[in-house]
């Protein structure tokens, strides 16, 4: 079995079709198609089927995909093992993280890791939900995931990175509803009176907001719902509504004039790095070690 042909099938699935897969792999589409046909002939079953303009896995393809990913991972691990003996001067790390953690702690961890291992390429995947993130780690699509700890981590090892206390972020000049005490924390009922800028249901931030407001007697008022986390702060600053954000995003909002208020009861989440308990590539092993060092380091003065 030609491992390149195995990679062709996985790329077609990951990129959603032959054209995008060929572009990602730097191949002509006929070469990609020919490689897939040769693999299917060797295996004695079709792996992919065209359904209208889409490409879908056949039943045999569904069974093939998991072992194919593991085969590619092991091949990459073999290459990385050799690189590790040369001081980890090469290799690839597939990392998946919640979008709301991209600024803190992911950006700092990746920057420090690249500083120590500049020859390693870090590929960051974007999960659709916390559950999807863990599926990506368990399936081998990613080796390391950074998420919140209130999900089941069964079958995975974990490293606690930090604890975040989320806060309410209101547009500049707003303290809250009538009679609100701008110096005090917001209650669930008080936050429920605000028009909110939130992420879609099922996302990490939205789940925390729904849970907090649900502790009161009122319902969440959604003004803007978006899965583009980078517009949350600009929307609040332009007065589209209030939001509930982690410390790093709240600090950026405060710098733009937003009003920051704590929540009562507090909204907290524990941030963890999750990974398979064994079989990590040298690149992933080094990243986990980097994360452990970061958690053990004293905070800057």
Does 293 reside within a domain?
Answer: no
Does 29 reside within a domain?
Answer: yes
What CATH number should be reported for the domain holding residue 189? 3.40.190.290
Does 196 reside within a domain?
Answer: yes
Interatomic CA distance for residues 77 and 92, integer angstroms = 9
- For 184-210, write each residue's pLDDT tens digit: 899 999 999 999 999 999 899 999 999
- For 135-149, write each residue's pLDDT tens digit: 999 988 999 999 998
- 284 in Cβ contact with 144 (< 8 Å): yes
Query: Tokens at residue 106, please?
Result: 């992911």
Interatomic CA distance for residues 203 and 222, integer angstroms = 15
Residue 42: Cβ within 10 Å count: 11
In this prediction the pTM is: 0.69
Does 235 reside within a domain?
Answer: yes
What CATH number should be reported for the domain holding residue 40? 1.10.10.10
Does 42 reside within a domain?
Answer: yes
As beta bridge partners, residue 133 has none
- Domains in the chain: how many in total? 2
- For 17-42, write each residue's pLDDT tens digit: 999 999 999 889 999 999 999 999 99
Give me the DSSP letters along 132-152: HHHHHHHHTS-SEEEEETTS-
Domain hosting residue 22, numbered range: 1-71
Interatomic CA distance for residues 167 and 267, integer angstroms = 7
Helix (H, G, I), strand (E, B) or coil at 109: helix
What is the per-residue pLDDT for 179?
A: 47
Does 214 reside within a domain?
Answer: yes
Instruction: Give the end of a domain, one of 32, 54, 71.
Output: 71
Q: What is the mean pLDDT of the chain?
A: 90
Does 119 reside within a domain?
Answer: no
Instruction: Give the end of a domain, one of 71, 90, 119.
Output: 71
Does 36 reside within a domain?
Answer: yes
Interatomic CA distance for residues 225 and 223, integer angstroms = 7
Residue 80 pLDDT level (bands cut at 50, 70, 90): confident
User: Stretch 166-195: mean pLDDT, rounded?
Assistant: 82
């Amino acid at each position: 079995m030609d491992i390149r042909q195995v990679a062709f099938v996985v790329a077609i699935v990951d990129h959603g079709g032959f054209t995008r897969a060929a572009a990602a792999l730097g191949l002509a589409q006929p070469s990609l198609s020919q490689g897939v046909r040769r693999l299917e002939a060797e295996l004695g079953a079709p792996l992919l089927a065209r359904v209208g303009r889409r490409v879908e896995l056949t039943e045999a393809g569904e069974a093939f995909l998991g072992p194919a990913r593991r085969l590619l991972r092991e091949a990459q691990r073999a290459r990385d093992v050799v690189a590790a003996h040369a001081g980890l001067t090469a290799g690839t790390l597939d990392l998946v993280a919640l979008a709301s953690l991209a600024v803190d702690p992911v950006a700092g961890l990746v920057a420090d890791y690249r500083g120590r291992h500049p020859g390693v390429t870090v590929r960051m995947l974007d999960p659709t939900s916390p559950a999807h993130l863990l599926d990506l780690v368990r399936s081998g699509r990613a080796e390391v995931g950074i998420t919140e700890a209130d999900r089941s981590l069964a079958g995975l090892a974990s490293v606690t990175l930090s604890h975040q206390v989320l806060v309410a972020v209101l547009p500049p000049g707003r303290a809250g509803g009538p009679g609100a005490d701008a110096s005090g924390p917001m209650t669930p009922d008080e936050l429920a009176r605000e028009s909110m800028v939130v992420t879609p249901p099922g996302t990490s931030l939205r789940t925390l907001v729904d849970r907090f407001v649900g502790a009161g007697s009122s319902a969440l008022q959604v003004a803007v719902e978006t899965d583009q986390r980078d517009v949350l702060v600009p929307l609040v600053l332009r007065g589209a509504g209030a939001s509930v954000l982690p410390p790093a995003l709240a600090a950026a909002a405060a710098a733009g004039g937003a009003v920051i208020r704590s929540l009562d009861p507090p909204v907290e989440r524990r941030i963890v790095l999750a990974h398979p308990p064994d079989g990590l590539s040298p690149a992933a092993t080094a990243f986990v070690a980097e994360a452990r060092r970061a958690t053990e380091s004293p905070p800057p003065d």
